[in-house]
Amino acid sequence: MAFNLSKGERFSLSKAAPGLSRVKIGMGWHPNDQPGGPEFDLDVSAFAIGANFKIPSDSYFVFYGQVRMGNCVKDAVETSLDRPVTEDGAILGAIDDPDGKRSDGEDDEDMFIDLSKVDQRIEQIIICCSICKYPNDNKKDRRTMNLNFGQVDDCYIRIVNENTGEEITRYELKEHYTNEDAVEFGRLYRAGTAWEFEAMGRAHTGSLQTLVDMYT
Q: For the chain, what are the domain ranges?
A: 3-215
Rounded CA separation 49/53 (Å): 5
Encode pLDDT of 147-187 as tens digits: 999 999 899 999 999 999 999 999 999 988 999 999 999 99
- Classified by CATH at the fold level, domain 3-215 comes out as Lipoxygenase-1 (2.60.60)
What is the DSSP annotation of 159-192? EEETTTTEEEEEEE-----SS--EEEEEEEEEET
Q: Which residues contact 159 (CB under 8 A, 6 or more apart)?
A: 13, 23, 24, 25, 26, 167, 168, 169, 170, 197
Can you say how many angstroms the Cα of residue 46 is from the centroid of all Cα atoms in its chain? 6
Q: Kindly state the DSSP code that residue 194 receives in the 8-state scheme.
A: E
Interval 9-20 mean pLDDT: 93
Coil vs helix vs strand at 13: helix
Burial tier of 175 (Cβ tally within 10 Å: 0-12, 13-18, 19+)? middle
Strands annotated E in the chain: 3-5, 10-12, 22-28, 42-49, 61-62, 91-92, 109-114, 124-131, 156-161, 166-172, 182-191, 194-204
First to last CA, the chain: 37
**Averaged pLDDT of the chain:** 87
pTM: 0.88
Rounded CA separation 48/43 (Å): 16
Rounded CA separation 109/100 (Å): 9
Residues 67, 215, 94, 75: is their CA dihedral positive or negative? positive
Encode pLDDT of 66-93 as tens digits: 755 444 443 444 444 578 899 999 999 9
Task: Decide if 103 contacts 31 (C-beta within 8 A).
Answer: no
